[in-house]
Amino acid sequence: MALRRPLLVGLTGSIGMGKTETARQFARLGIPVHDADAAVHRLYEPGAAAVAAIAQAFPECVMEMEGSVDRARLSARLRKDPSAFSRLESIVHPFVAAEQRAAENRAAFGRTKEERKSTERERRLTDRELDGKRLE
């Protein structure tokens, strides 16, 4: 029996349990994989969505010249003040969740909801342009 909707599987476990290898095997089989750890790394890169908000909350943890989060400084800051974790999570988690939803949409529909809307707008525009024109 075929599934009517995609199956969402979460890989959890301690360090060394094989999460990364399992995700690689899924990807090799053509199964879409969203890696939240990789998403966070991307959010810390120069110009990424979370950098400005992190710079506001933890200015000493962002490298001004590069415009990226210095993970070592951020880690040291969090070790000194564990209560800062919740502030960092409140910044980063919404971005990760949005990326996860986009990944789920791509897996389910081949494109994100925004990409589908854009394609629909383009098709309507093209249809309007063709209205009133005779085919020869």
pLDDT (0 to 100) of residue 121: 53
Cβ atoms of 22 and 11 closer than 8 Å: yes
> In this structure, is residue 10 part of a structural domain?
no
Residue numbers of the domain that contains 84: 31-129
Cβ atoms of 43 and 88 closer than 8 Å: no
- Which H/E stretch holds residue 62? strand 62-63
Distance CA 128, CA 29 (A): 41
pLDDT (0 to 100) of residue 103: 82
- Total count of domains within the chain: 1
Give pLDDT tens digits along the chain (136 positions).
Answer: 555 566 778 888 888 898 889 988 988 888 888 888 889 999 999 999 999 999 999 999 999 888 999 999 999 999 999 999 999 999 999 999 998 888 887 777 665 566 656 555 544 544 444 444 434 3
> In this structure, is residue 20 part of a structural domain?
no
> In this structure, is residue 65 part of a structural domain?
yes
> In this structure, is residue 48 part of a structural domain?
yes
C-alpha of 1 from chain center: 32
Q: What is the pTM of this model?
A: 0.67
> In this structure, is residue 4 part of a structural domain?
no
> In this structure, is residue 18 part of a structural domain?
no
The CATH number linked to 51 is: 3.40.50.300
